[in-house]
Amino acid sequence: MKKYQYHFCWLVCIGVAFLAASCSKFMEVESREQVSDPVLWADKANADLFLNNVYSSLPNQMNTGDPEETWSDNAVCGIGGQYGQTVYALSAYDASNSRTRWNLYTAIRKANLFIEKASASSLPEDWKKQRLGEARFLRAYYYMILWTNHGGVPVITKVLNQNEQGDEIFQARNTAEETFKFIRDECEAIANDLPLKSDAGRATRGAALTLKGWVELFWASPLYNTSNEKQRWADAAATNKRVMDMNTYTLFPDYNTLFFEQNNNNSEVIFSRKYLGGTNLGNSKEGLHGAPWAGNGGTQIAWGGVDPTQEIVDEYVMANGLPISDPASGYDPQNPYVNREKRFYQSILFNGADWLGKAMDMRQGVGSLNATDLSNASVATKTGYNLKKGLNPTYTVSGNNRLNSADFIIYRYAEVLLSFAEAQNEAVGPDESVYEAMRLVRERSELPALPLGMSQAEMRVAIQRERRVELAFEEKRWLDLLRLRLAEDKLNGTSHAIVIEQSGGVWVHKIVPCVNGKRIFDPAKNYLLPIPQSAIDQNKKLEQNPNY
């Protein structure tokens, strides 16, 4: 009961924007955006409520049946008619219908308002130092989302008021480099103002440095680093190494339950969004992303929003550490799920895998509702696979059930290790520190160390595979495809599925194009999302991204 009460207090605060009118005392804070009431800034509890509302704009991929992972080559959406398959996958978006991050300017304005009012308040200096660091972190994080999606954007750090300033509030876009430098410099400036440890869900020093290391990695990658300046990679490696040298984080021993609510705030978590199951602030991942049925049918338990593709399945290596393409790996394409690495069994539901005490049956012609859907006739898997990673069997209730209190982990230590390995390899080659970072990540999954003597190019392939598998279905792959300029290759063509059917009395596994698997990516424009037309109509100084 004590734990429940703690989470209730904190989560009610971060969910102000989502609460129903019955929670009127919290909605009052939302309605005081102009903040003329000095009482708000004379009391830490009231000011905290305002800042917690800024936290409430953190990404929420747990309560949608069409998460951004389905934009990538890792998954397709099993629910018909969703944006990811009908618009994004086909590059059919423009300035009028694209998903946009522009609404984050509302959260940025709130952060600016908090910074202005809290700075001028008479609240305790130690409280102001930490909370102002948090507000600046959130503002930098929201700018990171805008930057990685739209490129350079107007960097606004003051509270603007059109009633008072008129059209002076409208600014032109900063360049991509200027936006990057703002985010990077903000993170560096606030890092020492933030504690090593804090209340669950609040920004810390590690979160600020991890964000800094991530934008430096993005800036060092081929999308922006067209001349492959080594110093950019070295900067990203150095910042991620600072997080490692904090000795604050360790890899959680159990990859399978790392994402479960009982392990919220574990030793690997650097920054996360909070949820409160059983309320409107709950997490619905199991009911939206999981397998629609256990075994071969029965009561529907989920919508099947995330169907892993054959492409991601093929990236999981064998238990001996060798990729399935290696003749020495022991891989058998007609017995493809034997002797794979541990993360495969912890992440993917395949034919014969156990789910809720039943063996999943994806075979054709046996009357199973879980048979691979070849005609988009139901919510059954379109690929022959369902998601398992991060799904708690306790909460398999179909739909937006909001039962789970598991955090959405935004940054965790494994990503820091992989980002360091990538940046260090690109800066100086596969030195001992690169091997050690890779060893730590692989060791948890009982994989052998990588062979010594790898070339930089060989290590690059190994790091990219490791990152894709380790962070699969955590909303990381799409941005990796963009920054590495892999999207024009990986997102042009068709995603694939496995079909299991009898031939001559033998069950045969056959790889086929999956329904809804067609993908189109135009490298002339799609590495950036368009600026919303509504924003351009309002602010004539905004220039549209090329070719939209």
Mean pLDDT value of segment 91-108: 95
CA dist list (Å): 180 to 112, 184, 250, 418: 18, 6, 29, 21
Q: Which helix (H) or strand (E) holds 215?
A: helix 205-220
Task: Report the interhelical angle of 205-220 vs 176-190 (nearest 10°).
Answer: 160
Which of 82-91, 166-175, 349-358 is modeled with the greatest confidence? 349-358
pLDDT tens digit sequence for 473-506? 999 999 999 999 999 999 999 999 999 999 999 9
Is 12 a residue whose pLDDT tops 80? Answer: no
Count CB neighbours of 393 within 10 A.
14
**pLDDT band at residue 37 under the 50/70/90 scheme:** low
Is 311 a residue whose pLDDT tops 70? Answer: yes
Count CB neighbours of 226 within 10 A.
8
Q: Which residues contact 530 (CB under 8 A, 6 or more apart)?
A: 93, 94, 95, 98, 150, 544, 545, 548
pLDDT score recorded for residue 433: 98
Lookup result for tokens 């290391």: 213
Is 200 a residue whose pLDDT tops 90? Answer: no
Residue 97 is encoded by which pair of tokens? 């219908």
Is 241 a residue whose pLDDT tops 70? Answer: yes
pLDDT score recorded for residue 166: 87
Is 1 a residue whose pLDDT tops 50? Answer: no
Is 438 a residue whose pLDDT tops 70? Answer: yes
pLDDT score recorded for residue 425: 99
Please enumerate, as own/partner, the contacts of 118-121 that have beta carbons within 8 Å and a separation of 24 or more. Answer: 118/41, 118/47, 118/51, 120/41, 121/41, 121/42, 121/47
Q: Which residues contact 435 (CB under 8 A, 6 or more apart)?
A: 449, 450, 452
pLDDT score recorded for residue 267: 98
Q: List residues bridging with 76 in a β-sheet.
A: 307
Is 21 a residue whose pLDDT tops 70? Answer: no
Among positive and negative, which fits the CA dihedral 157, 213, 207, 194? negative
pLDDT score recorded for residue 542: 98
Is 26 a residue whose pLDDT tops 70? Answer: no
**CB 307, CB 385: distance < 8 Å:** yes
Is 110 a residue whose pLDDT tops 80? Answer: yes
Q: Which CATH class is domain 1-61+104-274+407-485?
A: mainly alpha
> Residue 207 carries which DSSP code?
H
Q: CA-to-CA distance for 13 and 54, rounded, in angstroms?
A: 10
pLDDT score recorded for residue 36: 53
Residue 270 is encoded by which pair of tokens? 């650097």
Domain residue spans of the chain: 1-61+104-274+407-485
Is 135 a residue whose pLDDT tops 90? Answer: yes
Task: Report the interhelical angle of 125-150 vs 104-120 (nearest 10°).
Answer: 160
CA dist list (Å): 253 to 180, 320, 388, 475: 35, 20, 18, 22
Is 260 a residue whose pLDDT tops 70? Answer: yes
Q: CA-to-CA distance for 123 and 135, rounded, in angstroms?
A: 15
Is 34 a residue whose pLDDT tops 60? Answer: no
Does residue 91 or residue 18 have the better pLDDT? 91
pLDDT score recorded for residue 162: 87
**CB 284, CB 392: distance < 8 Å:** no
pLDDT tens digit sequence for 507-530? 999 999 999 899 999 999 999 999
Is 134 a residue whose pLDDT tops 50? Answer: yes
pLDDT tens digit sequence for 389-418? 999 999 999 999 999 999 999 999 999 999
pLDDT tens digit sequence for 201-216? 999 999 999 999 999 9
Per the prediction, the chain carries an average pLDDT of 93
Is 14 a residue whose pLDDT tops 50? Answer: no
Among positive and negative, which fits the CA dihedral 19, 24, 27, 31? positive
Helices (H), ranges, 297-386: 310-313, 342-347
* Residue 77: closest CA among 494, 381, 397: 381
Does residue 2 or residue 437 have the better pLDDT? 437
Residue 440 is encoded by which pair of tokens? 């730590």
pLDDT score recorded for residue 127: 97
> Residue 275 carries which DSSP code?
-
State how beta strands 358-359 and 354-355 pair. antiparallel
Nearest-10 Cα torsion for 253, 341, 467, 99: -100
Q: Which residues contact 287 (CB under 8 A, 6 or more apart)?
A: 301, 302, 303, 395, 396, 397, 398, 399, 400, 401, 403
Per-residue DSSP letters for 387-405?
E-TT--GGG--SSS---B-
Is 191 a residue whose pLDDT tops 60? Answer: yes
